[in-house]
Structure 1
């Protein structure tokens, strides 16, 4: 029995950097309106960080230099590439009707490399705003075509993905689809990253089903490190909260004769949990066991989440004991899930019990665990306990993150302690924790609701001066740019 458990666990460990990196699943227990990313949000970050390769390895020459000379060559290459990219970007931004941008770029004599392309496209992304989306999309494509015309250069898949990302930010759905067709035609495989870029954009436009069908039929879809392309698609759909499509793809997968594995079952079970389909969740669990797979720590986390949000602390405790009996030792992630779910049900005493239990079994509460507990106290109107917990976590070396600060700021605002809330905003910045838009929105909207218009204006003014989320200012309640 234990050998089967360990076998199932190893499958998930292979995909752990996609599923559980930086406590991603646990993060999912916290609501968006509290300023927390759901479980799916961090999944979108993984491919972005892993595939934003600048292509330096393709450009660097491996010659028999000593260490210092290699570093010197590398530094010189990077500096030249960044300088060239800066010149190209400046030229592109001067583009206007009647100008010959292609000739102007040719005259720069900048050697085109993967790094130069990356720097220019990322530079365009940084300049992208609400008012210049169409212009940025055209400039990026114009530059992309110009680079592709160079005999000494061939675009990489990463170049295509960066351009897709610009099109995505600009809402250019048709251009994205055309680019993928071009990508396939040029011999590049469409990967999970390609799918993620497309599904994240088209899902918001209501075109998710069409995109999924296209990828299911595509034989060029590369699915590393997943067992098959269906798992890659299911994983991506989970990341963008397309839960209904998860179920549909799962049925298509079975019709095509593919057998689900532990990862498949976990994703589909979680989707059904989010859809509130408890009966189907447990039917899938039965199917999983009948197919010879044992629940792993990810499966148990889903079940604990279901029991906790259903206000069943005793059943959750029994499940923890069962996990130990079958050789799956509960970790901090499981206790955090319980605390989060129970806090949603307003069971703060049960949350405190499991917080103590976390320490008793030798698990060290991390920043996510503390933040979930603090959020529970705030939602329950227990500001003093939240402040005490905030102090405890810092004393024990767990540095608050942006979500922790957002909960505390919200708590102070709810209690009418706006001076403390504003002070906390300055504290987080001094500690190198940059406020996100939710933090600013929480503080500004609460100040305005309390009639403290001057203080709210000062926060917005500070945000603008620092260049933070200027394009989102119109979304702040009752605020209009002058």
Structure 2
């Protein structure tokens, strides 16, 4: 009965089939208006512009004789701040090459006057690639032209000094900020704190925190997170706890609770069992973690394969007052569906709906997939229809997944129906899906239906 009802879709789909020639003629007729023509010209112009940027970027990254090749392109008319910035951003892993391109743009095009945006993008690229001497040359050029260096760029450079274990240089830059007219903001302090923690210089990091407080800079969440993460990664959880307690006594409470910071630090350091133990202790005392902290913990637990533990923990913290967000439901529903706990997945989905969340496809698609894996196709089809009737339309990935699962389970007629549904919703199916459905229909003897699906693909793609 279900197959018969769904088969009417084919009658609607394969009644008057529009030929490719008719479609093209219609497009050409519509195209005669001036507005459509102008829009197409603008679109073509944008395509040409970005294609040129892509081509220039490839030359910068790969051509040994870059300057000579660029001169042959005769692009002087389009060399401006926007083009240079886009090319520099595209070549963010090519330090010296980006520097050569920047110099070429400046020396060969007198009308081009670089702005702070291009200078700073080049500084980031040179810091990222470790070309420190060249980076300082560029910084000096900015100073000569009275262009300011923002605190965010300084922070970026200090962090990359830290990543390269060049902490002395990071400290030197921090102490020289006055010469660049750059204030020692919380963001800059955080970057130096990160550099010190990278080399496990916790004594220096703690001294920096004390200096930060003396100078009147206010610690933010990142300040606490950097130090707690550093201590946890070194296995110094007690020191992290003492630091949080001391800051609390001094009146500098972190923007999130200390225990949440500890859990995040343990997770970042890979101490999953310790993080789980801390959460267990919290729940026994009647406390719940912050929702973002719980999401990080739940994701880590699910990746480790302890999904049953994660679902039980989710229920416990919800009873204690945790307010799950969309990410929470996504993690838990996906995890429950993967291990076949479909009833639990349904209950959690219904809970999210009761709390006012709209069940978008990535929330209910894992349940559909789990039902199909268990061979419960009729239940999957009913659930899918229910979602659509309640105004939660599936997207292209959801249809693609369902079609693939149907073909794996030998439900080729239903798979064909979903292909047609996709086309009615202007969701173009993948060529591979057409092939899977057609091959399956032919193998089970439904050659006429397979031919109609092939015709539908031809009409859609205009082959």
1:258 to 208, 215, 224: 215
RMSD over aligned Cα atoms: 5.2
Change (3 A) 1:110 1:431: farther
Cross-structure match for 1:293: 252
Contact conserved, 2:67 with 2:104, CA < 8 A, in 1? no
Say yes or no: does 1:198 pair with 2:157.
yes
Q: Deviations over 1:450-480 (max 9, x none)?
A: xxxxxxxxxxxxxxxxxxxxxxxxxxxxxxx
Give the CA deviation at 1:317: 1.7
What is the 5 A alignment of 1:243-392? 244-245=200-201, 248-255=204-211, 257-259=214-216, 261-263=218-220, 264-305=223-264, 309=275, 311-317=277-283, 321=287, 331-337=290-296, 339=298, 351-360=310-319, 361=321, 363-367=323-327, 370-371=330-331, 384-385=339-340
C-alpha separation between the residues in 2 aligned to 1:124 and 1:202? 20
**Partners of 1:344 and 1:88 in 2: how far apart?**
42
Taking a change above 3 Å as real, the CA distance of residues 98 and 200 of structure 1, as seen in their structure-2 partners, is: closer
Give CA deviations for 1:100-131 in whole Å, capped at 9, x if unaligned: 457446x4332432211123224445xx7xxx
Where 1:297 maps in the other structure, the secondary structure is coil
| Residues 205 and 370 of structure 1: CA distance in aligned 2, closer, same or farther (over 3 Å) | same
Paired residues of 1:359 and 1:365 also in contact (CA < 8 A): no
Whole-angstrom distance in 1 between the partners of 2:203 and 2:328: 30
- 1:233, distance to aligned residue in structure 2 (A): 3.7
- Which secondary structure state, in structure 2, belongs to the residue aligned with residue 311 of structure 1? helix
Q: Distance in 2 between matches of 1:178 and 1:319?
A: 57
Contact 1:351 1:373 in 2 (8 A): no
C-alpha displacement of 1:277? 1.8
- Specify whether residues 144 and 385 from structure 1 end up closer, same or farther in structure 2 by C-alpha distance, changes over 3 A only: same
Q: Which residue of 2 aligns with 1:154?
A: 113
Distance 1:265 1:141, change over 3 A: closer
Q: Deviations over 1:349-373 (max 9, x none)?
A: 6533331145443623533565379
Secondary structure at the residue paired with 1:230?
helix
Contact 1:243/1:271 (CA < 8 Å) preserved in 2? no
Please name the residue that 1:141 is paired with. Answer: 99
- Report deviation, 1:291: 1.8
Contact 2:124/2:156 (<8 A) preserved:
yes
String of CA shifts for 1:12-49, please: whole Å, max 9, x gaps: xxxxxxxxxxxxxxxxxxxxxxxxxxxxxxxxxxxxxx
Rounded Cα–Cα distance in structure 2 between residues aligned with 1:284 and 1:366: 33
2:122 corresponds to: 163
The alpha carbon displacement at 1:193 in A equals: 3.8
In structure 2, what is the Cα distance between the partners aligned to 1:139 and 1:250?
39
> 1:143 & 1:373 partners in 2: Cα distance?
50
Seen in structure 2, the aligned counterparts of structure 1 residues 258 and 429 have a Cα distance that, compared at 3 Å, is farther
Kindly report which structure 2 residues correspond to 1:377-416, keeping only aligned pairs within 5 A, or say none. Answer: 384-385=339-340, 397=359
Aligned 8 A contact 1:118 1:159 in 2: yes
Which residue number in structure 2 is paired with residue 231 of structure 1?
190
5+ residue gaps, structure 1 = 1-70, 129-135, 324-329, 413-427, 434-482
User: What's the CA shift for 1:207?
Assistant: 2.3
Kindly provide the CA deviation profile for residues 283-322 of structure 1, in whole angstroms up to 9, marking residues without a partner as x.
222322222234542534114556952614453125653x
TM-score (norm 1): 0.49
**Aligned residue in 2 for 1:114:** 81
Q: Which has the higher contact order (CA 8 A, sep 6+)?
A: 1
In the aligned structure 2, how far is the partner of 1:358 from the partner of 1:138? 53
Q: How does 1:210-229 map to 2 (within 5 A)?
A: 210-219=169-178, 220=180, 222=182, 226-227=185-186, 229=188
Task: Indicate the residue corresponding to 1:34 in structure 2.
Answer: none
Work out the number of aligned pairs and report it: 316
Q: Closer, same or farther in 2 for the Cα pair 1:357/1:114, shift >3 Å?
A: farther
Q: Please name the residue that 1:207 is paired with.
A: 166
Residues 228 and 240, structure 2, Cα contact 8 Å, conserved in 1: yes
Is residue 168–residue 176 contact of structure 1 (8 Å, CA) maintained in 2? Answer: yes
Q: After superposition, what is the alpha-carbon deviation per residue over 1:204-249, rounded to whole angstroms, capped at 9, x for unaligned?
A: 433244234323432237469x546313543x659xx727356524
User: Scaled by the length of structure 2, what TM-score is found?
Assistant: 0.51
Q: Which has the higher helix share?
A: 2
